[in-house]
A and B are shown apart, each in its own frame.
Chain A
């Protein structure tokens, strides 16, 4: 048997609300990408029948809209949690306002992306590059909600979609809004590809249990990293 003994401690990084948010978000995105793609390119698999008997395209759109509402409120919740959650989920992780965060971004690029040097990245929650990418992703979430509800406004007189009435004139007409909405779908798909790969990558290399951290909430962190975090002598305190 091969084993190793190293001083590790478990840290509760993702509280239950963050985990629930994450999986609702992931499911919504999968559902929205699939239904959205079908809305953009409906397969014409039915012939020789009358409209009276069918409603499948309407159902696909309905699923898109239900997922969209869920996605939207889930996202709003995450923003709220960025101000009340634990230190790893707070907003300041995501916006690199400090010099050391930019330094860490460079380090991550060198260590994990280009792999030209080897060095341990100390951050316990997200590393600074991951955080920045999540921040950009959040902006894309926002844009997708704006364009989505902007389009939805045309078919609803409900309060929420009406709040987005300014979007269509602002972006220069429905066609542009639709085009942006459709293009952004690919942003989501590319993000998911890279994101899932990187979760596997970090788990493989760092063995802090990052995959299961989004399930159980805990990560294994080296003791010295935790000590420095607690003494505030770490390289890049984010709070």
Chain B
């Protein structure tokens, strides 16, 4: 029988991965995490010596695109992360167990590894009526609150768990809330994106494993290593932005020449993600490279910041097509009309003051000569 708690290295070697490939993987991860050269050794050491990370992975209100992204990570070893390095004792999509056995599996993790296990969450939590999302007869909120009580940290996968995503978009019928809004007292790592980039997800897991602490987070709880740069500042089309060369429609010459997609509603300037650096699908491409503007999927409320193909969102209360400029021009015209009206009234009502006839009760003396 195998070691009860084998290390990740033992696992992947057992699966036929060469040491050379293993080290390549460690190097890639160190690069993604922005570590210095010594970081490679740290990662290699951690993966060779540390037991697997106990993990409970919940699916609440979501579409499973985060799991889908994760298992498509670029490096072949990353697949092993999912299946071996972290012990997915409870992962509703991937585990074999079901029913009572499944419930037992995650309860066992909570009992066996108190203070050590990580809770990973995909999906938002309904609060308008908890019954909108129930598993095994208990609500998402109950399950999550119980599970985080003794956990080490919480990883919120994707926009749903980090900011509510489409479920929380106006009018948010289920009262969907992200993880950090419904629990307290535990560190929450928001791994943003819809879905997050697979290598980013892998990077976060490797970081947790190697350093035994949560990565540095930004003001919105996102790991700085992956979310501190704007898509706009890492975009290869940026030179076109500064040059004022813009795509005006998806079939114009500018689109063919690869001009900047700013006027097509690109949200790159307001979005923090690694798309321009790590890219997608084994670093083949990313949306902007394929000619589509960024829709800002790694930002809170991006569904409500639409339309996607418009630079600024509609103004709340005025309808989605009504931009700040339309309202501004309207108010400007109203003001100009008001000013003109006031000027006319002034010349009628204040006639006396303008020609300076003395007013009753004032001590103005007027002399008229001609």
A interface with B by C-beta (< 8 Å): 1-6, 40-42, 44-58, 60-61, 113, 115, 118, 120, 154-155, 165-166, 168-169, 172-179, 182-183, 185-186, 189-190, 193-194, 197, 201, 204-205, 207, 222, 224
Contacts and interface: CB of A to CB of B under 8 A. Distances in A.
B54 interface: no
Interface string B132-171: 0000000000000000000000000000000000000000
A179 B312 contact: yes
A178 B312 contact: yes
B325 A41 contact: yes
Contact of B359 (A2, A49, A118): A118
Contacts of A113: 342
A186 B353 CA distance: 34
B230 A57 contact: no
B346 A175 contact: no
A113 B301 CA distance: 42
Contacts of A61: 242
Nearest to B271: A174
Nearest to B347: A204
Given A115-B345, A176-B301, A194-B339, 7 more contacts: A4-B364, A47-B253, A52-B239, A168-B219, A177-B270, A178-B269, A204-B346
Interface residues of B, number: 62
B296 interface: yes
Nearest to B328: A186
Nearest to B252: A47
Contact of A120 (B239, B240, B248, B362): B362
B245 A49 contact: yes
Given A54-B245, A57-B241, A6 B365 contact: yes
A183 to B, nearest CB: 5
A194 B342 CA distance: 11
Interface of B: 219-220, 230, 233, 239-246, 248, 253-254, 257, 262-263, 267, 269-272, 296, 299-302, 305, 311-313, 315, 324-325, 327-328, 331-332, 335-336, 339, 342-343, 345-346, 349-350, 352-354, 356, 359, 362-370
Given A4-B356, A4-B367, A193-B332, A186 B239 contact: no
B332 A189 contact: yes
B188 to A, nearest CB: 14
A126 to B, nearest CB: 19
A2 B296 contact: no
Given A169-B220, A186-B328, A189-B332, A3 B253 contact: no
27 contacts: A2-B370, A4-B364, A6-B366, A40-B311, A44-B263, A47-B253, A48-B253, A57-B241, A58-B243, A115-B345, A115-B346, A118-B352, A118-B359, A154-B230, A173-B220, A175-B270, A175-B299, A175-B302, A175-B313, A178-B269, A182-B324, A186-B324, A186-B328, A190-B331, A197-B342, A205-B346, A224-B363
A57 B244 contact: yes
Contacts of A178: 269-270, 312
B226 to A, nearest CB: 15
Nearest to B329: A186
Nearest to A206: B353
A53 B243 contact: yes
B335 A194 contact: yes
A55 B242 contact: yes
Contacts of B366: 4, 6
Best-surrounded residue of A40, A155, A173 (most CB of chain B within 10 A) = A173
Nearest to A224: B363
Nearest to B219: A169
Nearest to A165: B219
Contact of A183 (B230, B242, B269, B315): B315
B324 A173 contact: no
Best-surrounded residue of A47, A48, A49, A165 (most CB of chain B within 10 A) = A47
A52 B238 CA distance: 11
